[in-house]
């Protein structure tokens, strides 16, 4: 027997819901609904409090406190019933914890949470929901930072496929996916493909939010990074300055994103040998990051690392070593032992010792940098090849000096 659902619903509406004799039924339904809503609100209140506290601590750069609250929120999720691991509130807590770990460079801690969010999103969200693509994009970004490029590319492609086939919206979110994929291509040295994706992402974002929107700044800065990497310095400067102008206009001169713009420009001028332009920009970036992010943030370490490399190129080896050592101390507290930024800092310190004639001291940091890069990067990656060459130089110098 086939039931006509629409006909049955109409009959129920007329005979029960709209019938004055059944007011008690409507009242009971409303009472139960309101009661259940109140129950959910009471049940969720401690969870949302912990989530809010965690997000506040995260914005202030207090990562240990943010982790404490996120773990508390995750523990509270266990009270949401037998299927708590697939509850949307649980997904949010897991994703936020994964993001926190990724920002700290704690990749091994972040990865299982990202993978759990992917499984939970399949249960919670329809195929055409953007969340299904977002969680793949998040994992892709993590894998990219870990140097696991093939796995990262697979996740980026899955995110893009879901969005283009199911979500079917041209939006700023899609532009972010494209920007992340472009960054991966750049990291692999696939510069032409990277440029194509970056420019498409920028065109899409500008079409959706307008050219003067601050959301364009991140894409502009990444395009500048691509051109800096390929030594197209004039183009790099153009895009870096456009990003800076947007951030200054909307966020102001003391925002961490503005500090990133100063840092990018400083690094560009350093590469061009314009040391007198680079130095004050590094100082601006450092001042903002110390004030807004604190002395133990990875981005503070990144600016110190930039200053170390600038000092090395100016043959100011004492300050170069000092800045690099300070950066390493911050990184040891906050980043995974295999983080690529630690390898970069160790390489700068090793080169500093080598050029200063302290050959024995150079070998250890250069060896440590190579070990990290061998674990993270493909055999043909420029950074890995550079590490091999730097360590070879240090060892050859030791042999020549008879040490």
Q: For the segment 264-313, what is each residue's pLDDT rounded down to a tens digit? A: 999 999 999 999 999 999 999 999 999 988 898 889 999 999 999 999 99
Residues 6+ apart with CB under 8 A from 259: 284, 285, 288, 289, 292, 299, 303
Q: 161, 210, 206: which is closest to 181 by C-alpha?
A: 161
Instruction: Count Cα atoms within 13 angstroms, Cβ side, for 151.
Output: 15
Residues 7-16 have a mean pLDDT of 54
pLDDT over 50 at 33, yes or no:
no
What pLDDT shows up at residue 348?
Answer: 97
| Other beta carbons less than 10 A from residue 182's beta carbon | 26
pLDDT tens, residue by residue, 300-335: 999 999 999 999 999 999 999 999 999 999 999 878
pLDDT tens, residue by residue, 134-180: 999 999 999 998 878 889 999 999 999 999 999 888 889 999 999 99
What pLDDT shows up at residue 31?
Answer: 45
What pLDDT shows up at residue 116?
Answer: 92
Per-position DSSP letters for 201-254, written without gaps between them? HHHHHHHHH-TT-TTHHHHHHHHHHHHHHTT-HHHHHHHHHHHHHHHHHHT-TT
Looking up tokens 């240990």 gives 64
pLDDT over 60 at 19, yes or no:
no
Characterize 244-270 residue by residue with b for buried, 16 or more Cβ atoms within 10 angstroms of its Cβ, and e for exposed: bebbbeeeeeebbbbbbbbbbbbbbbb
Asked if 381 and 344 count as a contact pair (C-beta separation under 8 A), the reply is no
Looking up tokens 């982790």 gives 67
Residues 6+ apart with CB under 8 A from 332: 342
Question: How far apart (Å, rounded) are the C-alpha atoms in residues 80 and 76?
Answer: 8
- Range scoring the smallest mean pLDDT among 54-68, 161-175, 201-215: 54-68
The DSSP H or E segment spanning 150 is: helix 149-162
DSSP 39: H
Asked if 106 and 72 count as a contact pair (C-beta separation under 8 A), the reply is no
Does the domain at residues 297-403 carry the CATH identifier 1.25.40.10? yes
Residues 84-100 have a mean pLDDT of 86
Question: How far apart (Å, rounded) are the C-alpha atoms in residues 264 and 270?
Answer: 10
Torsion region of 232: left, alpha or beta (phi above 0 gives left; psi -120 to 50 gives alpha): beta
Asked if 93 and 85 count as a contact pair (C-beta separation under 8 A), the reply is no
**Dihedrals φ, ψ of 2, to 5°?**
-95, 125
What pLDDT shows up at residue 27?
Answer: 47
Residues 17-23 have a mean pLDDT of 49
pLDDT-based confidence at residue 126 (cuts at 50, 70, 90)? confident
DSSP 272: T
pLDDT over 70 at 5, yes or no:
no
pLDDT over 60 at 26, yes or no:
no
Q: 331, 325, 295: which is closest to 307 by C-alpha?
A: 325
Question: How far apart (Å, rounded) are the C-alpha atoms in residues 331 and 321?
Answer: 15
pLDDT over 70 at 16, yes or no:
no
271 burial type by CB count under 10 A (0-12 exposed, 13-18 middle, 19+ buried)? middle
Domain range list for the chain: 297-403
């Amino acid at each position: 027997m086939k039931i006509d659902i629409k006909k049955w619903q109409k009959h129920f509406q007329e005979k029960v819901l709209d019938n004055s004799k059944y007011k008690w039924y409507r009242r009971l339904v409303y009472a139960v609904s309101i009661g259940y809503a109140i129950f959910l609100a009471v049940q969720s209140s401690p969870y949302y409090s912990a989530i809010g506290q965690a997000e506040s601590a995260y914005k202030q750069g207090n990562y240990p406190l943010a982790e404490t609250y996120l773990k508390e929120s995750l523990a509270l999720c266990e009270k949401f019933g037998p299927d708590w691991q697939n509850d949307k509130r649980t997904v949010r807590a897991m994703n936020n914890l994964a993001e926190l770990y990724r920002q700290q460079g704690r990749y091994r801690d972040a990865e299982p949470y990202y993978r759990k969010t992917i499984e939970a999103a399949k249960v919670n969200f329809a195929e055409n929901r953007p969340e299904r693509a977002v969680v793949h994009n998040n994992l892709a970004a993590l894998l990219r930072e870990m140097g696991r490029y093939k796995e990262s590319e697979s996740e980026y492609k899955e995110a893009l496929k879901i969005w283009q086939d199911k979500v079917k919206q041209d939006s700023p979110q899609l532009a972010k996916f494209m920007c992340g994929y472009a960054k991966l291509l750049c990291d692999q040295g696939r510069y032409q493909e990277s440029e194509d994706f970056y420019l498409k992402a920028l065109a899409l974002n500008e079409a959706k939010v307008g050219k003067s929107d601050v959301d364009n700044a991140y894409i502009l800065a990444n395009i500048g990074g691509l051109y800096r990497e390929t030594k197209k310095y004039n183009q790099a400067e153009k895009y870096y300055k456009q990003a800076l102008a947007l951030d200054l206009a909307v966020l102001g001169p003391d925002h961490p994103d503005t500090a990133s713009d100063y840092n990018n420009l400083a690094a560009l001028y350093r590469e061009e040998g314009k040391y007198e332009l680079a130095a004050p920009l590094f100082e601006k970036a450092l001042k903002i990051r110390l004030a807004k992010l604190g002395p133990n943030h990875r981005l503070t370490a990144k600016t110190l690392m930039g200053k170390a490399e600038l000092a090395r190129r100016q043959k100011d080896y004492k300050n170069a070593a000092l800045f690099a050592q300070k950066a390493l101390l911050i990184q040891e507290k906050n980043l995974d032992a295999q983080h690529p930024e630690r390898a970069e800092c160790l390489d700068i310190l090793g080169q500093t010792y080598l050029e200063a004639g302290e050959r024995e001291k150079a070998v250890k940091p250069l060896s440590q940098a190579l070990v990290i890069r061998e674990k993270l990067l493909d055999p043909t990656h420029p950074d890995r090849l550079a590490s091999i060459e730097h360590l070879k130089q240090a060892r050859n110098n030791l042999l020549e000096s008879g040490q």
